[in-house]
Amino acid sequence: MIDLHCHILPGIDDGAADMAVSVAMARAEVNQGVSVVACTPHILPGLYHNSGPAIRQAIAQLQGVLQQEGIPLRLVTGADVHVTPDFVGGLRSGRLLSIADSRYVLVEPPHHTAPPQLEDFFFNLVVAGYVPILTHPERLSWVPSHYEMIKRLVQGGVWMQLTAASFAGAFGRNALYWAERMLDDGCVHVLASDAHDAERRPPDLAAGREMVAKRVGAEEAQCLVLTRPMGILKDQAPSSLPGPLAVADASSMSTLSTDDALAPQRGDARGGLRGVSGRLRRLFR
Ligand SMILES: [Fe+2]
């Protein structure tokens, strides 16, 4: 597997506190069956002043330590880049980093407010030749009231990365509900750990893959943790990679109602529909 979102670099954000934690996380990744990790520290002006050259240096240092320790894990460049002005200019100058210097870039919007002109922001990235990957939409508090926009973004070429632990309920009922709903609606492209340490938020991609496979089948689960991530590392065009499975009755399932803010309370009622749609999907594959 390939883990494309991991705060494994030591001491530069709220991820690994020091090199010992980084090494423990690397061992945990290998134990999960992960062979490549994108090192993706936060880049958030005012809080995490990381930049491309410093991240590259930290990756080279950690890779050297892993080699000394005999841990077979390949590290590639990346960043968890928060929405900021002049994003495209930052990528072109090298101040911001895409994943493995590909056209794919992790983008983290604010957690509690949908920024105005968010669609324009993503449009500008797409026309500049990038494929934005919006990180963990299922955990953003504004997604329930903006789900139609999320779907428009997907149709417009924005990819979605969900967090493995969301499917275990680690981020609460809301995140679990939206993770499952987006998966069922065929709106998820990549599953990643977004690990921050070796204990509280550890690498857990194997467990995530298993939970997702129960829902959408082993083949789509493989696409989420290997096929598409591999394509990203090779900088393959999104059109050349398998798209997320669409649920057979997506249009009826995805109809939004005004009580979507109460979505988790509706979860049980939707469970039957999801079960039926999952079975239909497997029949059509
Ligand atoms: Fe992150």
Ligand 1 centroid to residue 80 C-alpha, Å: 6
- Domains located in the chain, CATH noted: 2-246 (3.20.20.140)
**51 has pLDDT over 90:** yes
Ligand 1 centroid to residue 252 C-alpha, Å: 33
Ligand 1 centroid to residue 6 C-alpha, Å: 7
**266 has pLDDT over 90:** no
**263 has pLDDT over 50:** no
Listed in sequence order, the residues at least 6 apart from 89 whose beta carbon sits closer than 8 Å to its beta carbon are none
pLDDT band at 270 (very low <50, low <70, confident <90, very high): very low
Percentage with pLDDT > 70 across the chain:
86
Sign (positive/negative) of CA torsion 196, 20, 39, 17? Answer: positive
Secondary structure of residue 227 in the 3-state scheme: helix
Ligand 1 centroid to residue 63 C-alpha, Å: 20
Ligand 1 centroid to residue 276 C-alpha, Å: 33
Taking a C-beta distance cutoff of 8 angstroms, is the pair 167, 211 a contact?
A: yes
**Tokens coding 45:** 């002006």
Ligand 1 centroid to residue 196 C-alpha, Å: 8
Ligand 1 centroid to residue 5 C-alpha, Å: 6
CA 193, CA 202: separation in Å to the nearest integer?
Answer: 8
Question: What is the b/e burial string over 158-184, where b = at least 16 CB atoms within 10 angstroms of the residue's CB?
Answer: bbbbbbbbbbeeebeebbbbbbbbbbb
**Tokens coding 16:** 């690994």
Ligand 1 centroid to residue 4 C-alpha, Å: 10
CA 278, CA 285: separation in Å to the nearest integer?
Answer: 11
For residue 247, the model assigns a pLDDT of 59
Sign (positive/negative) of CA torsion 79, 82, 83, 84? Answer: negative
pLDDT digits (tens, 9 = 90+) for 142-198: 999 999 999 999 999 999 999 999 999 999 999 999 999 999 999 999 999 999 999
Ligand 1 centroid to residue 285 C-alpha, Å: 33
**What is the pLDDT of the chain when averaged over all its residues?**
88
**111 has pLDDT over 80:** yes
For residue 265, the model assigns a pLDDT of 40
Ligand 1 centroid to residue 193 C-alpha, Å: 9
